[in-house]
Amino acid sequence: MAFLQIAHLEKSFGTTRVVRDFDLSIEKGEFVSLLGPSGCGKTTVLRMVAGFETPSSGAIAIDGRDVIALRPNQRHIGMVFQAYALFPNLTVAENVAFGLKVKRMPADLRAARVREMLALIGLPDLGNRYPFQLSGGQQQRVALARALAIKPHVLLLDEPLSALDARIRVSLRAQIREIQRELQITTIFVTHDQEEALSISDRVVVMNGGVAEQVGTPFEIYNRPATRFVAQFVGTLNLIEADVIAPATGTVRIGTTEVSLGRPLPAGRVTLACRPEAVSLGAAEGRPLLLWAEIGKVEFLGAVIRLRAQAGRTALSLDMFNRPDTPPPAAGDRVQVSISPADLLVLEA
């Protein structure tokens, strides 16, 4: 059985169901992100795990033990909030020591643990500062140290980086992941930033409207999105409308081009989807779907160049590697682009 087991979790506020039939199993030491748009119920799930909200129904077990009836302070959980959760009247060291003090740990052990935690988060010298004397990123690191000081079994983070600048966000998320790996602590990380979720998680739960639409590794979520919502929410997606003209062989017509996808398709109209990196300039072996397109915009992103092109009524984004010896096409150029049928996802139209 998984270390953290959530089964058929439901939560309603009044008549609105904000979490619906939510299942999730997390192994010990795993780092799982809840990813979804604002209001989809991420925080509510986290707060039910923490014990701040009571589920309308369903079960939550940690290490094989049902925790539904336990109060937050009995669940051995550490939590980091979005922002401003440090106690303003206590110094950094006193904040980190708070959980140890209420657990009556002797003062010398406490001081040692505080030193250890401050070293872990890379702020060994700031113990005597007050929270208002710290930057936002430092505050969040102290909040992490405070949560980890009591050696919780599970760590919950609710958008801990969303109040920070983009640059600090990237470095701090890497640091959080590193600390999590070092301590091997089972972690749920809430975010609405897909890049953040994909870059640091073992697995990602994509939520929409209170439902877990897909649970999978970042690779699976990105390359094999299970639903149209997941496909569109995670990463950039090209959508191509197509008419199925031979369902058995999967032959479709896109504008005037006909191509076989080599798998059965439902009759009628379908929406095909592919990532920008699946679209290539020029024809090539194994890429039978060929379209003529006119280049709109050329965005230079460094190692990658993103082209925006128009093929008939279909808008396409395509990525090409930046090679100094092959300059990219210019806006207004007519080019041929090709796609491999294997890279095309079929979304119900």
Partner 1 sequence: MTDATLAEPVAPAPVAPAPVAAESPAPRPRRTAALALKWLGVAPFMIFALLFLILPTIHIVLGAFQTPEGAFTLRNLAGLAVPQVVRPFMLSIRLSLLTAGLGCLIGLILAAAVTRGGLPGWIRDAMLTFSGVASNFAGVPLAFAFIATLGRLGLVTVVLKEVFGINLAATGFNLISFAGLTLTYLYFQIPLMILIITPALDGLKREWREAAEILGASGAQYWRMVALPVLWPSLLGTFALLFANSFGAVATAMALTGSSLSIVPIILFAQIRGDVLQDPHLGYAIAFGMIVITGIANLVYIVLRSRAEKWVR
Give the residues lining the site for ligand ATP (CB under 6 A).
13, 18, 36, 38-44, 192
β-pair type (334-339, 57-62): unpaired
52 near partner 1, judged by CB under 8 A: yes
Q: Quote the least distance from Cβ 46 to ligand ATP, whole Å.
A: 8
Task: Give the residue with the Cβ less far from partner 1, 78 or 210.
Answer: 78
Q: Quote the least distance from Cβ 52 to partner 1, whole Å.
A: 6
Residue nearest to Mg ion (CB): 43
Residue nearest to ligand ATP (CB): 43
Instruction: Considering only the stretches 4-12, 78-86, 111-119, 298-306, report the one whose residues sit in contact with partner 1 under the rule CB under 8 A.
Output: 78-86
Residue 44 interacts, among partner 1, Mg ion, ligand ATP, none and using kind-specific CB cut-offs from 5 to 8 Å, with ligand ATP
Rounded to an integer, what distance in angstroms lies between the CA atom of residue 286 and that of residue 187?
42
Residue 92 interacts, among ligand ATP, partner 1, Mg ion, none and using kind-specific CB cut-offs from 5 to 8 Å, with none
Strand (E) or helix (H) holding 181:
helix 166-183
Residues 6+ apart with CB under 8 A from 141: 121, 122, 123, 172, 175
Q: What is the CA radius of gyration of the chain?
A: 25
Angle between helices 136-149 and 166-183 (to 10 degrees): 20
From candidates 13, 28, 54, 84, binder to partner 1 by CB under 8 A? 84
Rounded to an integer, what distance in angstroms lies between the CA atom of residue 83 and that of residue 123?
18
Q: Quote the least distance from Cβ 163 to ligand ATP, whole Å.
A: 12
Strand (E) or helix (H) holding 48:
helix 42-50
Rounded to an integer, what distance in angstroms lies between the CA atom of residue 306 and that of residue 326?
14
Residue with the two structure tokens 């920070």 = 164
Count interface residues toward partner 1 (CB under 8 A). Answer: 28
Q: Which residues bind partner 1 (CB under 8 A)?
A: 50-52, 71-73, 75, 77-79, 81-82, 84-85, 87-90, 98-99, 101-103, 132, 143, 146-147, 150
